């Protein structure tokens, strides 16, 4: 589940002492397990989820262990989720688009309660 909105904003770096205010894409709505979440177009899905306080991206097939972001550069595949019905999408390198349906992955399919 996504965290409270107040916490969400806290994860975004509003102003950075070296980088200043980082440029963002357009603010868009997408769906995480059916729930509306705001993110910025073009940022990795994983970044938008992280900002929203989502930690678990999937559960492993055999032992049902949780996995989240690990490498954040598309190498480790820990962060894969079901995106617009397609499983095993590396959320850390897949740009966010308006209206995307992102679901927690269980094994290789969307988690049951995550419609």
Q: Which residues bind another protein (CB under 8 A)?
A: 10-13, 15-19, 22, 24, 43-44, 47, 50-51, 55-57, 65-75, 78, 92-93, 95
53: left (phi over 0), alpha (psi -120 to 50) or beta: left
Least Å from the CB of residue 107 to another protein: 16
Least Å from the CB of residue 92 to another protein: 8
- Residue 76 or 101 having the CB closest to another protein: 76
- Residue 12 or 98 having the CB closest to another protein: 12
Task: Enumerate the H helices of 37-111 as residue ranges.
Answer: 45-51
Least Å from the CB of residue 26 to another protein: 15
Q: What is the 3 state secondary structure string of 62-98? A: CCCCEECCCCCCCCCCCCEEEECCEEEEECCCCECCC
């Amino acid at each position: 589940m996504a965290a409270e909105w107040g916490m969400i904003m806290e994860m975004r770096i509003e102003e950075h002492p070296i980088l200043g205010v980082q440029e963002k894409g357009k603010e868009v709505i997408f769906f995480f397990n059916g729930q509306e979440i705001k993110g910025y177009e073009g940022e990795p899905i994983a970044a938008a989820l992280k900002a929203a306080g989502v930690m678990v991206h999937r559960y492993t097939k055999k032992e049902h262990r949780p996995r989240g972001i690990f490498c954040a550069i598309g190498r480790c595949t820990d962060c894969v989720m079901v995106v617009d019905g397609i499983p095993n999408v590396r959320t850390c390198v897949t740009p966010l688009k308006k209206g995307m349906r992102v679901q927690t992955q269980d094994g290789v399919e969307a988690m049951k309660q995550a419609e």
